[in-house]
Amino acid sequence: MIPLLLATLCALAYGASDFLGGLAARRTSVVTVVVAAQVAGLFVLAPLIGVLPGRPSWPALAWGAAAGLAGAFGVLVFYRALAGGRISVVAPASATLTAALPVVWGLGMGERPVPAALFGVALAVAAVALVSHDPSARGGRAWVGPICQAAAVGVGLGGFSVLIAQPPAQSGLWPLAGARLASIGLLVVLCLATGRNLRPNGPRATGAAVGAGVLDMAANVLFLLALRSDGLLSIVAVVSSLYPAGTLLLARYVLGERLRPVQLAGVLCALGAVSLIAVT
């Protein structure tokens, strides 16, 4: 029960973080937003490492660094998609694939999810096609961009979930430290190489980016604590992927977004798919 509760709180934190990150990415460079968010999250993590038990080790830091690079890639693509499209469409499409990857990993490692979870993976594919549907777009390849973006986000964020679960339990939160240092290093180099400003444009963008980073790190800590509380990766990862529920509510009531009927059907399929996968 405790892992499920922690994973649910994780999903809520991720949902609010993505909403704020998407807003910030509409006002300033996506890379700049992610750098500011990652640095803000590091300030949240630093005092928690000393409070929660755990010992640093090179394997834990290395697994964390790999997870951080995967997560940074996923977040960059995700925020860019949020900045250029409707939040209530992009978030569910990405979440379905993010949830499916740990299930595929579990199958490869010998886990056998119940048939409902396998059906959820198939439903996720249908959901991506529905929520990506844009009747105003012309040309037969209009669907390629959204689906490729969702796939890239799913590989990045789903890969983060798989990789961050590999270090031993006694490593505490140190894998998150490795993840955050690696991702910040990569993003700073990317900013310098492309000549982008490391500071967001204006106080609103800065506040949204910092808020996104604080909530994202809180979600990461909850995710790792859920795993440390004897939670199964195939359960924790997919329950935490319910984050579009929070993102959708915020987009609906803060931004007043509306969905076409076919896209609404896709959103419902996406949430249903994540819920089905969660029964594993």
From residue 159, give the alpha-carbon distance in Å to each of 7, 69, 163.
Answer: 17, 9, 6
So what's the pLDDT on residue 208? 92
Against a cut of 0.85, is the pTM above it?
no
From residue 72, give the alpha-carbon distance in Å to each of 5, 17, 58.
Answer: 26, 14, 21
Indicate whether 42 pLDDT > 90.
yes
Span 225-239, average pLDDT: 81
- Comparing CA positions, the residue from 157, 215, 214, 166 lying closest to residue 61 is 166
Any idea which residue has 């983060």 for tokens?
Answer: 160
So what's the pLDDT on residue 177? 95
Domain boundaries, the chain: 2-277
Helix (H) or strand (E) holding 268: helix 261-277
Identity (one letter) of the amino acid at 106?
G
- Comparing CA positions, the residue from 99, 80, 89, 79 lying closest to residue 212 is 79
Any idea which residue has 């209530």 for tokens?
Answer: 88
If one counts every other C-beta atom within 10 angstroms of the C-beta of residue 155, the result is 17
Angle of helix 144-164 relative to helix 174-194, nearest 10 degrees, comes to 140
From residue 176, give the alpha-carbon distance in Å to each of 28, 114, 115, 211.
Answer: 26, 31, 33, 18
What lies within 8 Å, CB to CB, of 33 at 6+ separation is 21, 24, 25, 79, 200, 205, 208, 209, 212
So what's the pLDDT on residue 62? 96
Indicate whether 280 pLDDT > 90.
no
So what's the pLDDT on residue 210? 94
DSSP string covering 87-149? HHHHHHHHHHHHHHHHHHHHHHTT----HHHHHHHHHHHHHHHHHT--TT--STTTTHHHHHH
CA 191 to chain centre: 21
From residue 258, give the alpha-carbon distance in Å to each of 143, 162, 254, 255.
Answer: 20, 34, 12, 9
Span 10-35, average pLDDT: 87
Indicate whether 29 pLDDT > 70.
yes
So what's the pLDDT on residue 128? 62
So what's the pLDDT on residue 220? 95
So what's the pLDDT on residue 65? 96
The predicted-structure confidence for 201-228, as pLDDT tens digits, reads as follows 888 889 999 999 999 999 999 999 998 8
